[in-house]
Structure 1
Amino acid sequence: MIPKNTICLWFDGTALDAATFYAETFPDSAVKAVHHAPGDYPDGKAGVPITVEFTVFGIPCLGLNGGPHFPQTEAFSFQIATDDQAETDRLWNAIVDNGGAESECGWCKDKWGVNWQITPRVLTEAYTSPDRAAASRAFDAMMTMKKIDVAAIEAAVRG
């Protein structure tokens, strides 16, 4: 069954590689189907994978091998809420150590250019806290980080 709403990510011939990595890395993720081009098109030949149906944490996605015309940007990212430092480290390291790159404040980019926010729940709870002083301390601590350090956020909340 075709979902009512699907996230479509544009790739330059690497949609299946990316979808396979996501399925191997993230829970509740899978490659669902690979569709091959029925004819030649501007950036590919008949028979090559043109779309890949996959899920990331249960979210339906479609990888489109559309060519080099529209690279990924930070205007789109997956935000993944993690439960602890171990999960944060595992997901962050899987992305960064597989050809990705670190960014600021819990953001990183995978080797296909897709952006990820690996965000411990403790951070979101801290900066949305009704205790605005604690929220400010947690926010200030986050602003100094690349990968989020859960213990440092918890220490900032405590003051």
Structure 2
Amino acid sequence: MELQNKLTPFIWYERGAEDAVAHYLRVFGPGSGRVLHTQHWGENAPGPAGTVMLQHVELLGMQMTAFNGGPHFKLNEAFSLTVACEDQAEIDHLWEQLPAGGGTPLSCGWVRDAWGLSWQIIPKAWFRMVNDPDAARVQRVFQAVWGMHKIDLAALQRAYDGT
């Protein structure tokens, strides 16, 4: 297997990286990605021999590595993956499904999944709105988001429009 991307996230999970990968593929649905390679721990390795050490995965066109590294490092909000959603239905689906099984919804469109990985679930329109040359529009959008947990696209549009 050869990496296709020059820059590839390497995500350290305490355990269950392969379960996290399976969850992501289920949540994003058929055709969203695939496991490219699975590597197992060998004899005299830090992990139990024969168990999954890592998986190289393609998800939504991005390659990443999910690693079962043990308790030495913890995932936190200092690293997150951003999903640019087409519409409110996609936001709603991901907001509900990504944290399923023990994760936590957070503020400003963020969720943490059951393995500790943080996700930003935002509409594609967000990028257009916050890059508007009108500073007042941008400020209204930020003010609206700071008061939200799950992003409400219609409310965001109203803030952007000033209505």
Query: How does the TM-score come out when normalised to structure 1?
Result: 0.92
Q: 2:41 is matched with which residue?
A: 37
Shift of 1:32: 2.1
Shift of 1:15: 0.8
Alignment pair present for 1:154 and 2:157: yes
Q: 1:145 aligns with which of 135, 145, 148?
A: 148
Partners in 2 of 1:100 and 1:45 — Cα distance? 26
- Point out where structure 2 has 5 or more consecutive residues left out of the alignment: none
Q: 2:16 is matched with which residue?
A: 14
2:98 partner SS: helix
- The count of residues paired between Structure 1 and Structure 2 equals 158
Mapping 1:121-132, distance limit 5 Å:
121-132=124-135
Mapping 1:61-72, distance limit 5 Å:
61-72=64-75
Q: 2:138 is matched with which residue?
A: 135
1:96 partner SS: coil
Partners in 2 of 1:107 and 1:40 — Cα distance? 39
The answer on whether the counterparts of 1:13 and 1:66 sit within 8 Å (CA) in structure 2 is yes
Q: 2:116 aligns with which of 113, 123, 134?
A: 113
Q: 2:2 is matched with which residue?
A: 2
Query: What is the aligned-residue RMSD (CA, Å)?
Result: 1.4
2:155 partner SS: helix
The answer on whether the counterparts of 2:144 and 2:155 sit within 8 Å (CA) in structure 1 is yes
Single out whichever of 75-84 and 123-132 deviates more from structure 2.
123-132
Single out whichever of 108-117 and 131-140 deviates more from structure 2.
131-140
Percent identity, please: 38
- Point out where structure 1 has 5 or more consecutive residues left out of the alignment: none
